[in-house]
């Protein structure tokens, strides 16, 4: 009877100790029975041993949680050891022995973010790589956001205007032809004031009646006319001149003091041609000077005799007016020398005086 009781107790002790894996990923072996009686008697199971009244795990990286050997908090059992529980987005790299982000990303701001291409930076608000302000990502790099009208030239690595234009006044404007300049108010290339664009360049704006001759490169009047008095006037026949005051009268007239005879201009009666002009025919002995007939120097015109004569008190000698013999000229008048007097009967100077 005693032997039977001993065998029953031994069987109960054997079946009450079980080594079971943890339901969680955490590695651990639980030493337990239907009650905590065995634990209290320092039954630490197969993976731990009792040391000074405490269960100590055989694997030094594990700790005893009161029932079993487990990995420290924040780690899990994998690859035959305790490894970190990786944050969301990371995974454990057994070669590096740590949690890592996927290829092309890095750990920042508490998560895996993209490794940005050169020139870009990570914007945590947008959760993506962005280019600096005023630029955009194109051609594998950050390029300027070009102003309206311009486009990015990857060869020159800058914003450029379309061919034939240039950047000025905050926009693309035409490259003006030689001689023209850009007028920002009109928004186009213009010629200088008083000119216009023709024949590929700026030419003068011709006065009314004239036109631009590209062979002579100047403004000209139509054939048969010439520029006079600020307009194109009829070219007059030889000898005639244009009458700028004429309205209803003939345009071409003979010059002053001339009349037309047989298609030619001739001097009027009483006039003669002198130095290309018709001047009055002067009385004998006179000449036409400064618009009038005048006597030779020193003579005066006697309207009664109708001829040029020497002034009173002078006589003519060799074509000149001189004082009579024996007299001298003083202050433009003839008089007798000192100590003489004029005898009007003999019309000579005589010695003596009053």
What's the pLDDT band for 13 if we cut at 50, 70, 90? very low
Beta bridge partners of 172: 167
CA distance 20 to 30: 6
pLDDT at position 286 over 50:
yes
What's the pLDDT band for 330 if we cut at 50, 70, 90? confident
Beta bridge partners of 303: none
pLDDT at position 40 over 70:
no
Q: What is the pLDDT of residue 313?
A: 82
Radius of gyration of the CA atoms of the chain, in A: 67
Give rounded-to-5 percent helix, strand, coil for the chain. Answer: 5, 45, 50
What's the pLDDT band for 298 if we cut at 50, 70, 90? confident
Mean pLDDT of 28-42: 44
Q: What is the pLDDT of residue 196?
A: 93
Mean pLDDT of 323-329: 86
* Beta pairing class for 98-100 and 91-93: antiparallel
What's the pLDDT band for 130 if we cut at 50, 70, 90? very high
Q: HSE on the CB side for 74, CA within 13 Å?
A: 3
**pTM of the full structure:** 0.43
Q: What is the pLDDT of residue 105?
A: 92
Spell out the domain ranges in the chain. Answer: 18-84, 323-354
Strands (E), 162-243: 165-168, 171-174, 181-183, 188-190, 195-198, 201-204, 211-213, 218-220, 225-228, 231-234, 241-242
pLDDT single digits (tens) 138-169: 989 999 999 999 999 999 999 999 999 999 99
pLDDT single digits (tens) 110-119: 999 999 999 9
């Amino acid at each position: 009877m005693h032997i039977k009781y001993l065998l029953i107790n031994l069987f109960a002790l054997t079946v009450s100790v079980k080594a079971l894996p943890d339901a969680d990923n955490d590695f651990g072996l639980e030493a337990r029975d239907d009650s905590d009686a065995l634990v209290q008697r320092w039954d630490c199971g197969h993976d731990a041993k009792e040391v000074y009244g405490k269960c100590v795990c055989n694997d030094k990286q594990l700790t005893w949680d009161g029932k079993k050997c487990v990995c420290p908090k924040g780690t899990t059992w994998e690859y035959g050891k305790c490894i970190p529980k990786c944050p969301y987005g990371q995974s454990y790299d057994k070669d590096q022995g740590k949690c890592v982000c996927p290829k092309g990303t890095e750990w920042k701001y508490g998560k895996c973010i993209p490794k940005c291409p050169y020139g870009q930076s990570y914007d945590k608000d947008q959760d993506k790589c962005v280019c600096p302000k005023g630029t955009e990502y194109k051609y594998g790099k950050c390029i300027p956001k070009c102003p309206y009208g311009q486009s990015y030239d990857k060869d020159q690595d800058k914003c450029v205007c379309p061919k034939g234009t240039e950047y000025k006044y905050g926009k693309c404007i035409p490259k003006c032809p030689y001689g023209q300049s850009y007028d920002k108010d009109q928004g186009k290339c213009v010629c200088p004031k008083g000119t216009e664009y023709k024949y590929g360049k700026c030419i003068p704006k011709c006065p009314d009646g004239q036109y631009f001759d590209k062979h002579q490169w100047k403004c000209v009047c139509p054939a048969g006319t010439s520029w006079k008095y600020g307009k194109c006037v009829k070219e007059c026949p030889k000898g005639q001149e244009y009458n700028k005051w004429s309205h209803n009268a003939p345009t071409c007239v003979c010059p002053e003091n001339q009349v037309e005879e047989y298609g030619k201009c001739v001097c009027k009666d009483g006039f003669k041609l002198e130095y290309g002009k018709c001047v009055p025919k002067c009385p004998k002995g006179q000449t036409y000077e400064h618009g009038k007939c005048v006597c030779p120097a020193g003579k005066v015109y006697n309207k009664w005799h109708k001829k040029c004569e020497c002034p009173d008190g002078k006589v003519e000698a060799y074509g000149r007016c001189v004082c009579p013999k024996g007299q001298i000229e003083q202050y433009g008048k003839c008089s007798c020398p000192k100590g003489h007097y004029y005898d009007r009967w003999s019309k000579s100077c005589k010695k003596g005086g009053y």
